Amino acid sequence: MAERVKCETCNREFKDESGLAAHNAAKHNSLSGKPKERGMAIWVYSGLAIFVIAVLAYLYLGNSSPQVTNVSSSQLGVQKIVISMQNYNYYPNTITVEAGKPVEITLDSSVGGCYRSFNIPSLGVSYRSSNPGDKITFTPTKKGSFEFACSMRMGRGTIIVK
């Protein structure tokens, strides 16, 4: 005679595991045949969900404190800026320049992919830097805060023109 299987929650007996599984699904809101397995699955899936959320938050938010830089000026009055990558974003991600003076932006070798397509739409700047020696040059004429971004808007920052 086949060994009978007992429900650990209500002590009801069944002929086999499939009968117990059907009973648990209908009566105890479980797809698993045993309450211990249910509890373990909840912990595993909860932990996995928390881990995934933490990784996505880190990748999306990165270093949330804005990085501000003042621009170095050469003898000719050109405002030179070197931008790199940090935490999946441009660094520095806030730049302050003076209106009416030429700006020269260089994307260093840490900048790759779509981040090499540098755009400041409000100032009419759109440039694809193919190597770290390229210079993105423009002269801002209007004052204010303007967003800069890569072509896919994954990397973003602000340029403040005073």
Residue 132, token pair as written in the block: 């770290």
CA 137 to each of CA 25, 120, 145: distance values in angstroms, whole numbers, following the listed order: 67, 12, 18
Contact between 90 and 117 under an 8 Å Cβ cutoff? The reply is no
Measured CA to CA, the distance from residue 143 to residue 63 in angstroms comes to 27
Contact between 118 and 150 under an 8 Å Cβ cutoff? The reply is yes
Per-residue confidence in pLDDT tens, the chain, 162 aa: 568 888 888 888 888 888 888 888 877 765 544 555 656 677 788 888 888 887 776 665 554 444 445 455 555 689 999 999 988 899 998 999 999 999 999 999 998 888 999 999 999 899 898 888 889 999 999 999 999 999 888 899 999 999
Lookup result for tokens 């400041």: 120
Q: What is the reported pTM?
A: 0.53
